[in-house]
Structure 1
Amino acid sequence: MLKRVGHPVDEKGAAVVIKDATFPVPFAQGLEFNSPVHGNWNIVHTGMLMPEARQIYVCADNCMRGVVLTAAEMNAADRFSFVIVKEENLLNGNLEDITIEGVTDVLNKLEEKPKAVLLFTVCLHHFLGCDLERVYQELEERFPKITFIRCYMDPIMQKHGPTPDQKLRKAIYEPLPKRKADEKAVSFLGSDFALEKNADLKRIVRAHQGIFRELPGCKSWEDYLALSEGKLFVSSYPPSKYGAEVISERLKRPYLYLPGSFDYKEITAQLENFCQAMGYGKLEKMISVEEEIAACEKALEKVHEVIGDTAVAIDYLYHPRPLGLAKLLLTHGFRVIRIYLDSISPEEKAEFEWLKEHAPDLQLIATIQVKMRVLPRTSDEKILAIGQKAAWFTGSPYFVNMVQGGGLYGFDGIRRTAELMAEAFIEEKDTEDLVVRKGWGCESCI
């Protein structure tokens, strides 16, 4: 007779009420679970933003599998190549030659050469002390008309120093040349998504007949190079800050980090700083802050009439400021019951303390803790999920399908979030089908 081994799994270690949570890491680190939610962009998706460029990966075939499938799923395999490293290459100590000759072979077989190559080296190159300076020097001599960009796929460095994502967001701007600044131009760096057309920054720039450039909007290599002409460099996505600071220093441009926020005062201060840096004068000449806030309040009131007392769950993948969003919703009468995250950004320290005091029973739930693999993903009540992971872990078909803040920013971002919540509450989605698709917003062949 068969007998069940083991016992029911409880939430201990995978969930905590915020009053008992520690900042900035509420959960102990250990073995991790990887959910099938894949809407977040990875290095392949981000690299494909670069126009007239080709990605080449040099690694073993088991590591290659994921990036190959990403390129194929987004119908971009025609801009993707790879060089397989075998065990004998490691034993013979000729990884430099394999890399050089493999990349050379790929490029020689192309009828039309790319303007740039994003060359991804991997953990093996670190382990074996590969002479990357020699690799790039030789390739640049062989192909002087191609710009080689130093990229890394090294998850062993994920928690030590800049992550592969941060390093890529730095690398893709390294080819930008030194050019004269255009007094009317702003360059928005490091985001995977173009800001929505009514985002606060774009509206202000349009009011001055200015130029707003961003990598997702670049269609050609020259469009890309023109990013260096911005009078001011701006970034809002947290992983982009590192690279944006480096490129701003190299090109001697003023730089502003204006992270997406759900706080009226913070948004106002950011827009004032932006107007000052661009020489636009006072913010009130551009937009009425009182009217912007009133419009946000109206949008939140309208969506609350639709949603009522329905439970709301938020995840960190929807926006880098999940605690800020929770605070905004709670102060407007919404019933936020949980937030899915694994750590808390230093940028949200104040929101964390506010929630501990004003919403002490709010649940923080991990997404990578191993118990999340087997804990129930159902609910007895309707839940409006804001984000793909919140949708998957709650089993809710009513969710806002967006990642990494999308193209939202500022007062307009708050209003759009409210609109998306109302739409999600009414329109049922196929959660299991949507969240497994890699790279939200990209083409998907599945």
Structure 2
Amino acid sequence: MLQRVGETVDPKDAVVKIKDACFPAPFASELEYNSPVHGNWNIVHTGMLVPEAIQIYVCADNCMRGVVLTAAEMNAADRFSFVIVEEQHVLNGNLEDITIEGVTDVLNKRGDHPKAVLLFTVCLHHFVGSNLTYIYDELERRFPDICFIRCYMDPIMQKHGLTPDQKLRKAMYDPLPECEADEKTVSVFGSDFLLDESSDIKRLLRRYGYTVRELPACETWQDLLDMSKGRLFLDIYPAGKYGMETQARRLHRAHLYLPGSFDYEEIEQQLKQLTDALGLPEVSREALDVERAACEEVLAKAKALIRDMPIMLDYLYHPRPLGLAKLLLTHGFNVKAVYLDGISPEEKAAFDWLQEHAPELELIATIQVKMRVLPRGGKEEVLAIGQKAAYFSRSRHFVNLVQGEGLYGFDGIRRTAELMMEAYREEKDTEKLVVQKGWGCECCL
């Protein structure tokens, strides 16, 4: 293997102390490096959550490689098809016809009609001004028994407006029909993972006899359609907020955005929002104190075990990495760095607190080009929370979880501390684990 010799790379622009960092963009938006950490879900993984549906992508073959491999790696190639767009199709100006006839050919050759087709148009359709309304109208005329879901693989929009991920998390729920609400049902939107059964939300709703509907639990197309029965729509994952709010307005449902948090006061406020929205008794001060005490107990246990071992964490573990850093620092943990590329507006308070109380905390980019050549790891073993933190720090003691998984509330804090203790006690084969795409998906790697 070739190794760089005789040169030291200056970490400037890729590493900054939080006291010197700018909010919400601590690093310049420039040429990007893509590390081999692939545990986060992409649009193929997320789209596969729709039961009894297939995905069809219409794009050039160079762009097709990644999505085809994703479907194959998760053993779902039978639910994935594609239409290759060539240069002549763009030059001749008939991309609408190519899309329609290509999709028609795919469906006729399958021999079966799925309940739904997630049809992904791409950047080319935008560049040439394709009439997407005409495309979908014609396909719906030809296949009236299939629900065509309007999806987009247009990474040109990644930095401006809604991302492909946000648009998909809205489109998947577009088929939900208008119906009468079930007074004892709550529907949770937007996440790739089921809420843990022990999560604060699940425990509270179960206590009052509510049914909780979530897309990852849907086994049939009808299960998905039944999500519209929720009297209240919830979202806990930032990328799902737009979709949940859009569907709530369309279906005339009350809705709440309750993002996962590591702050006791915020968690308590969110529980109050939930009980108020459902007309339930407010969680008592005594019960909340019990929850806090249980968190304090497990955090103290984790601190006694981990002691002063350096801790690195990243945004891939949870959408609130700075909030987690604050929680750990206030409980005596030796947090050294947070790997992230931008800071959510939801973390402004945590950012301000860390600037004042932990000014030497390092923020380290994950996509800045210097991360390709900067040294990974050091002489001292660290405990990493998240795959990117583990990869860049060369830690074999790491918490292997992405996108917040089913964590929520006080229970999420306790589970995080428990996972940290597990990571401290047990080594993992980091470089083998982090290359697997879509943590939590069925995968043949």
The question of a shared fold, defined as TM-score above 0.5 by the shorter chain, is answered with: yes
1:400 has 2:399 as partner:
yes
| Alpha-carbon displacement from aligned partner over 1:98-133 (angstroms, at most 9, x marks no partner) | 100110111112232111100000001011111111
Match of 1:442 in 2: 441
Which residue does 2:320 correspond to in 1? Answer: 321
Secondary structure, counterpart of 1:283 in structure 2: coil
1:357 corresponding residue in structure 2: 356
Instruction: Tell me by how many angstroms 1:6 deviates.
Output: 8.0
CA-to-aligned-CA distance 1:342-398 (integer Å, 9 cap, x gap): 111100001001000100000000001100000001211110000000000001111
Q: Is 1:381 the counterpart of 2:383 in the alignment?
A: no
- Mapped to 2, the partners of 1:393 and 1:378 lie a distance apart of 6
Unpaired segments ≥5 residues, structure 2: none
Q: What is aligned with 1:432? A: 431
**1:106 is aligned to 2:106:** yes
Residue 92 (str. 1) matches residue 92 (str. 2): yes
Structure 1 residues 225-261: Cα deviation after superposition (integer angstroms, max 9, x where no partner): 0100001000010011111111000001011000000
SS of 2:352's equivalent in the other structure is helix
* Structure 1 counterpart of 2:299, one-letter code: L
Using the TM superposition, give the Cα deviation of residue 29 of structure 1 relative to its aligned residue in structure 2, in angstroms: 1.4
Amino acid at match of 1:438: K
What is the match of residue 262 of structure 1?
A: 262
Distance 2:14 2:276 in 1: 45
1:109 aligned counterpart, secondary structure? helix
* Cα offset, 1:7, TM superposition: 3.6
Show the counterpart of 1:45. Answer: 45
Alignment of 1:195-214 (within 5 A): 195-214=195-214
1:93 is displaced (CA, Å) by 1.2
Segments of 5+ residues of structure 1 without an aligned counterpart are none
2:234 is aligned to 234
Q: 1:280 & 1:53 partners in 2: Cα distance?
A: 37
Indicate the residue corresponding to 2:71 in structure 1.
71
Deviation of 1:88 after TM superposition, in Å, equals 1.3
The residue aligned with 2:26 is 26
Instruction: Report the equivalent of 2:409.
Output: 410
Aligned-partner residue type, residue 403 of structure 2? Q
| Residue correspondence of structure 1 range 114-263 to structure 2 within 5 A | 114-263=114-263
Q: Tell me how far apart the structure 2 counterparts of residues 92 and 8 of structure 1 sit (CA, whole Å).
A: 51
**Counterpart for residue 312 of structure 1:** 311
Q: Which residue of 1 aligns with 2:56?
A: 56
- Between the aligned partners of 1:161 and 1:122, the Cα distance in structure 2 is 16
The list of structure 1 runs, each at least 4 consecutive aligned residues, that deviate by more than 4 angstroms after superposition, is none
C-alpha separation in 2, matches of 1:202 and 1:423: 24
Deviation of 1:134 (Å): 0.8
Cα displacement (A) at 1:284: 2.0
* AA at the equivalent of 2:230: G
Q: Which amino acid aligns with 2:338?
A: I
Deviation readout 1:397-424 (Å, 9 max, x if unpaired): 1100000001000000000000000001
Structure 1 position 272 matched with structure 2 position 308: no
Q: Map residues 273-288 of structure 1 onto 2, 5 A cutoff.
A: 273-284=273-284, 288=287
Secondary structure of 1:231's aligned partner: strand
User: What's the TM-score, normalizing by structure 2?
Assistant: 0.98
Q: Which amino acid aligns with 1:139?
A: L
Q: Is residue 363 of structure 2 the alignment partner of residue 330 of structure 1?
A: no
Task: Report the counterpart of residue 340 of structure 1 in structure 2.
Answer: 339
For the aligned residue pairs, the C-alpha RMSD in angstroms reads 1.1
Are positions 1:290 and 2:284 aligned together?
no
Quote the offset at 1:282 in angstroms. 1.4
Cα offset for 1:5?
Answer: 9.1
Query: Cα offset for 1:13?
Result: 0.6
Change (3 A) 1:106 1:241: same
* CA-to-aligned-CA distance 1:10-43 (integer Å, 9 cap, x gap): 1111001000111000011111101010000000
> Matched residue of 1:183: which SS?
strand
Partner in structure 2 of residue 419 of structure 1: 418
Cα separation, 1, equivalents of 2:382 and 2:52: 44
